[in-house]
Amino acid sequence: MEVRDGTKDYSGLGVLNAIAHIDKIIAPKLIGLDVNDQEKIDNVMITIDGTENKSRLGANAILAVSLAVARCSAEIKGKELYQNLGGKMLMPIPLSNMINGGKHAGSQLNMQEFMVIPSKVKNFGDATKALSETYHELKSIIQAKYGRSAVNVGDEGGFVPPVSRPAEALELMSKAIEERGYQKQLFLGIDAAASEFYNWKLTQYNVESKRYLERGQLVDYYKELIGAFPIVSIEDPFDQDDFESFKQITAETKIQIVGDDLLVTNPKRIRNAVENKLCNATLIKPNQIGTLTETFSAITIDVKNKFNSIISHRSGETEDTFIADLAVGSGAGQIKLGAPARGERTAKYNRLLRIEEALGKKAKYGIERF
């Protein structure tokens, strides 16, 4: 839980209360502790808060301090931040948003994100080049087909064309990839965010406009898309509590099935997913769990159970690049960045390009290829 001010200022979203919690409650308890003991400091804050979901002090206050501690520790040691965050030195595969739908766009497209995912490229620099070229090719294709207004962008920089069927979005992206000649290097991914189009009264999914599907029908629907397009990853294909459907699609497909709303970077929920084989990858969002220590706990569970970890941005982002260093240092292997457009997204691409340049020959790229 974030703590917001709830006043007229900034439409209720001000954070003066959260800052006051840092200055008046958190700081007095932390001053004098060893800044290199991240786990102890994070646990002190968790104890002070005393709630299950950090609703007293606010996850925004706690996480801000947690990340500041990590940065301070790196500076004291004379290290780059990524070197102080696990030290794995693994450049991640970027999952790049190209078309937005759902709550991120306000369009007729109910699924939330359609992504391009590099696989068979040599390094992060080549991946970024391929993604940028494909993104701008896609812009030209959409504009030629639907007009200039169709290349407006959503929350994460993806385009918002007037389409309602996922297959239409995937076709547009496939054409852009083909036009640039990247069919062997670039693949497709979906973040369905299915909790947003699940109808609890009907216990059905409003997958396309007025088309509703039962759970089993939606499994078949995804399998058809996988057969028709080079899809290598689907995030939140079902409602966050539809465990049986998650289990079914994970068992019946060979692609990456990612839990975001399903897992919320929560170690307890990740362990449940591992035990019940609900998915095979976790979306890692530090501000979803609230401290860096708990973030690493989630990643550790993934590693031990051969789950993939994907470090992720949020739809409401800043230009802070912490997650870029976290992806490299933790060795997660994948990072969800948004489109190669808009400063709050390109800041992460640029940081990763600089890290790769600094690592030179020491840089290793990505996890096992899709």
Instruction: Read off the CATH number of the domain in which 218 is found.
Output: 3.20.20.120
Same domain? For 72 and 28 the reply is: yes
Please indicate whether residue 168 is annotated as part of the active site: no
Could you say which of 113, 208, 235, 285 is catalytic?
A: 285
The pLDDT-based confidence of 105 (bands split at 50, 70, 90) is low
- Arithmetic mean of pLDDT, 133-153: 95
Could you say which of 113, 133, 137, 156 is catalytic?
A: 156
Same domain? For 119 and 36 the reply is: no
Note whether residue 132 is domain-resident.
yes
Note whether residue 168 is domain-resident.
yes
* pLDDT of 154 higher than 90: no
Same domain? For 351 and 204 the reply is: yes
Of the three residues 47, 78, 109, the one that is the final residue of a domain is 78
Both tokens of 326, joined, read 């976290």
Same domain? For 212 and 331 the reply is: yes
* pLDDT of 208 higher than 80: yes
Note whether residue 131 is domain-resident.
yes
In one letter, which amino acid is 99? I
Same domain? For 159 and 23 the reply is: no
- Arithmetic mean of pLDDT, 120-130: 94
Same domain? For 34 and 167 the reply is: no
- Arithmetic mean of pLDDT, 117-144: 96
Orientation of helix 59-77 relative to helix 38-49, angle to 10°: 160
What's the pTM value of the predicted model, to 2 decimals? 0.95
The pLDDT-based confidence of 9 (bands split at 50, 70, 90) is very high
Please indicate whether residue 156 is annotated as part of the active site: yes
- Arithmetic mean of pLDDT, 198-203: 92
Of the three residues 57, 78, 99, the one that is the final residue of a domain is 78
Same domain? For 301 and 157 the reply is: yes
- Arithmetic mean of pLDDT, 182-205: 95
- pLDDT above 70 coverage of the chain, percent: 98
Helix (H, G, I), strand (E, B) or coil at 277: coil
* Predicted pLDDT at 82: 97
* Predicted pLDDT at 104: 55
Nearest alpha carbon to residue 303 among 260, 267, 336 = 267
Residue 55, domain extent: 9-78
Same domain? For 210 and 352 the reply is: yes
Helix (H, G, I), strand (E, B) or coil at 206: strand
- Arithmetic mean of pLDDT, 307-318: 93
Total count of domains within the chain: 2
Note whether residue 3 is domain-resident.
no
Query: Per mean pLDDT, which range of 58-62, 91-95, 101-105 is the poorest?
Result: 101-105
* Predicted pLDDT at 108: 83
Orientation of helix 59-77 relative to helix 292-304, angle to 10°: 80
The pLDDT-based confidence of 107 (bands split at 50, 70, 90) is confident
Note whether residue 84 is domain-resident.
no
Note whether residue 203 is domain-resident.
yes
* Predicted pLDDT at 366: 78
Of the three residues 56, 78, 100, the one that is the final residue of a domain is 78
Same domain? For 99 and 72 the reply is: no
The pLDDT-based confidence of 344 (bands split at 50, 70, 90) is very high
**Average pLDDT of the chain to the nearest whole number:** 95
Note whether residue 287 is domain-resident.
yes
Residue 309: CA count within 13 A, CB half-sphere: 31
- Arithmetic mean of pLDDT, 18-33: 98
Same domain? For 33 and 114 the reply is: no
Task: Find all residues with CB under 8 Å of 23, minimum gap 6, and list them.
Answer: none
Same domain? For 196 and 261 the reply is: yes
Distances (CA, A) of 92 to 51, 121, 186, 357: 34, 12, 15, 14
- For residues 295 and 198, give the distance between their C-alpha atoms in angstroms, rounded to a whole number: 28
Note whether residue 346 is domain-resident.
yes
Which DSSP category does 202 fall into?
Answer: T
Same domain? For 161 and 213 the reply is: yes
- At 258-294, the pLDDT tens digits run 999 999 999 999 999 999 999 999 999 999 999 999 9
The CATH number of the domain holding residue 70 is 3.30.390.10
* Predicted pLDDT at 252: 97
* Predicted pLDDT at 209: 77
Both tokens of 330, joined, read 């933790």
